[in-house]
Homo-oligomer: A and B are copies of this chain.
Amino acid sequence: MEQEQLILQERPNGLPDKDTFQFKKVEVNEPEEGEILLKTLYVSVDPYMRGRMSDAPSYAAPFEVGAPLVGGNVSQVMKSNSDQFTSGDLVTGNLDFQEYNVVKADKVRKVRTNDLSPSNALSVLGMPALTAYFGMMHIGEPKKGETVVISGAAGAVGQVAGQLAKKVGSRVVGIVGSKEKAKYITETLGYDAAVEYKKGNVSEQLKETCPDGIDVYYENVGGEISDAVWPLLNVFARVPVCGAISTYNLEEGEKDIGLRVQQFLIKSRVKMQGLLIGDFAEHYDEAYQALEEAVSNGELKFEETIHKGFHAIPDAFLGLFSGENIGKQLVKVADKE
């Protein structure tokens, strides 16, 4: 049986373009003993994947040129030579971007979405939500009455992070890139205010929406938006640093120049800390339980922006950097059988 793969054709310099990606036809292997044959239903496109397209050393090994991209995936088990799964099971894992995968059973785990859409295993019950949970609850530690600001507030992580802070009684202000996103976070998610950075003067907008200063800043974007946050940080503020999407497409040798943070960290004794969910592996159960409960009782709202078809992956990925997505950006590759 033939299938399509999405290959890294060449490493991008700056924003990826059509030369970055290549579709390729390859044979699907037969699963050996202990292996399972998976049919891809959804793939996840995430900003961090941009880092893996470069060969600079980072926390995740670079993708290889000529090899498939790898990322979050929800698949259906088509054939199982393992006693861990049976045909029809829905599973999730980090898999090659192709229509079918043949992997050892321990490369994936069953999705926790139950009656929900399997896509949720890549959004509100998956990596972005865990990232929001650990960044907000383990580093941000918001308290009742505190002011929490989130950049990228309508994105996959931001939409969850703010609701977790609302749940403990914080005031939540989201920074977003459009009127539509502002409406989403205030009306659907219940955030207290929105700052639209494309309107300009983020600093003034933040002062107006955060009259008592900022106690937690959940960092997703970096750049000038964040520079406007530092002067407003309150004493003992916490800054979980989850992402800096504004920097991911810098060209080779280009540096991310802006306001240095030291003076603000000293003045207000701020803790600023980078995170990856893998660092919190021992707390996954705690996080999944909290998220599942919040989703099932309707406390945790979320959106998914779903592109259709395997060939939509490059556009879906690039859409992350133009800010097109509300909530989690996904690609639906096939229907569940």
Interface residues of A (CB under 8 A from B): 58-59, 219, 222-223, 226-227, 235, 241-244, 247, 255-276, 279
B262 touches A259 (CB 8 A): no
Q: 7 additional contacts, CB 8 Å, given A59-B269, A223-B260, A265-B274?
A: A242-B266, A243-B266, A247-B260, A257-B257, A260-B260, A261-B261, A264-B274
A222 touches B260 (CB 8 A): yes
Neighbouring B residues of A223 by C-beta, 8 Å? 260
In the complex, 28 of the A-B residue pairs with CB atoms within 8 angstroms, ordered by the A residue number, are A58-B267, A59-B266, A59-B268, A222-B260, A223-B260, A227-B260, A241-B262, A241-B266, A244-B263, A244-B266, A255-B259, A256-B260, A257-B258, A257-B259, A260-B261, A261-B261, A261-B272, A264-B274, A265-B272, A266-B274, A268-B274, A269-B273, A269-B275, A269-B276, A269-B279, A270-B273, A271-B271, A271-B273
CA–CA, A276 and B270, complex, Å: 11
CA–CA, A284 and B172, complex, Å: 37
Neighbouring B residues of A263 by C-beta, 8 Å? 222, 244, 247, 256
* List of 4 A-B pairs having minimum Cβ-Cβ separation, nearest first: A265-B274, A244-B262, A266-B274, A222-B262
> Which residue in chain B gives the minimum CB-CB distance to A258?
B260
> Which residue in chain B gives the minimum CB-CB distance to A59?
B267
Q: How distant is A61 from chain B, measured CB to nearest CB, in Å?
A: 13
CA–CA, A99 and B272, complex, Å: 42
Q: How distant is A55 from chain B, measured CB to nearest CB, in Å?
A: 14
> Which residue in chain B gives the minimum CB-CB distance to A247?
B263
A262 touches B59 (CB 8 A): no
CA–CA, A215 and B258, complex, Å: 24
Most chain B Cβ neighbours within 10 Å, of A243, A266, A276: A266
Neighbouring B residues of A273 by C-beta, 8 Å? 265, 269-272
> Which residue in chain B gives the minimum CB-CB distance to A220?
B262
Known: A267-B274, A270-B273, A273-B270. A256 touches B259 (CB 8 A): yes
Q: How distant is A207 from chain B, measured CB to nearest CB, in Å?
A: 13
Partner of A260, one of B257, B265, B271: B257
Q: How distant is A333 from chain B, measured CB to nearest CB, in Å?
A: 29
Known: A59-B267, A257-B257, A267-B58. A262 touches B275 (CB 8 A): no
Most chain B Cβ neighbours within 10 Å, of A263, A270, A272, A276: A263
> Which residue in chain B gives the minimum CB-CB distance to A244?
B262
Neighbouring B residues of A276 by C-beta, 8 Å? 266, 269
Neighbouring B residues of A268 by C-beta, 8 Å? 59, 274
